[in-house]
Amino acid sequence: MSQNSVFEMALEQLNDAARRLNLDASTLRVLSHPERELTVACPVVMDDGRIEVFTGHRVQHSSARGPCKGGIRFHQNVDIDEVRALAMWMTWKCAVVNIPYGGAKGGVQVDVTQLTPNEIRRLTRRFTVGIMPIIGPHSDIPAPDVNTNAETMGWIMDTVSMFQGSTVLDIVTGKSIDLGGSLGRREATGRGVMFNTLELLKRKKINPKKTTVAVQGFGNVGSVSADLLTKEGCRVLAVSDVSGAYYCEAGLPIADMIVYCTTSRNHLLEGFSAPGVSKISNDELLELDVDVLVPAALEKQITIANADRIKADFIVEGANGPTTPEAERLLTQKGKIVVPDILANSGGVVVSYFEWVQSIQSFFWDEDEVNSNLKRVMVNSFKAVWDVHESHGIDMRNAAMLIAVGRVAQAIKQRGIFP
Dist CA 198 CA 209 (whole Å): 11
User: What single DSSP character describes residue 16?
Assistant: H
DSSP element (H, E) containing 90: helix 80-96
With 0-12 CB in 10 A as exposed, 13-18 as middle and 19+ as buried, what is 205? exposed
Is residue 272 within 8 A of residue 306, CB to CB? The reply is no
In the sheet that 292-295 helps form, which strands lie side by side, from edge to edge? 278-280, 244-247, 235-241, 212-216, 292-295, 314-316, 337-339
The Cα 187–Cα 69 span in angstroms is: 18
Known catalytic membership, residue 202: no
Question: For residues 275 and 73, what is the distance between their CA atoms, to the nearest angstrom?
Answer: 35
- Count of residues making up the chain: 419
List the 140-144 sheet strands across, edge first. Answer: 36-45, 51-60, 102-109, 68-75, 140-144
Give the closest residue to 116 by CA, choosing from 309, 218, 266, 268: 266
Q: Are 388 and 402 in contact (CB under 8 A)?
A: yes
Distance CA 27, CA 125 (A): 37
Q: Among residues 105, 175, 205, 300, which one is catalytic? A: 105
Say which amino acid occupies 152: T
Q: Which residues are catalytic?
A: 105
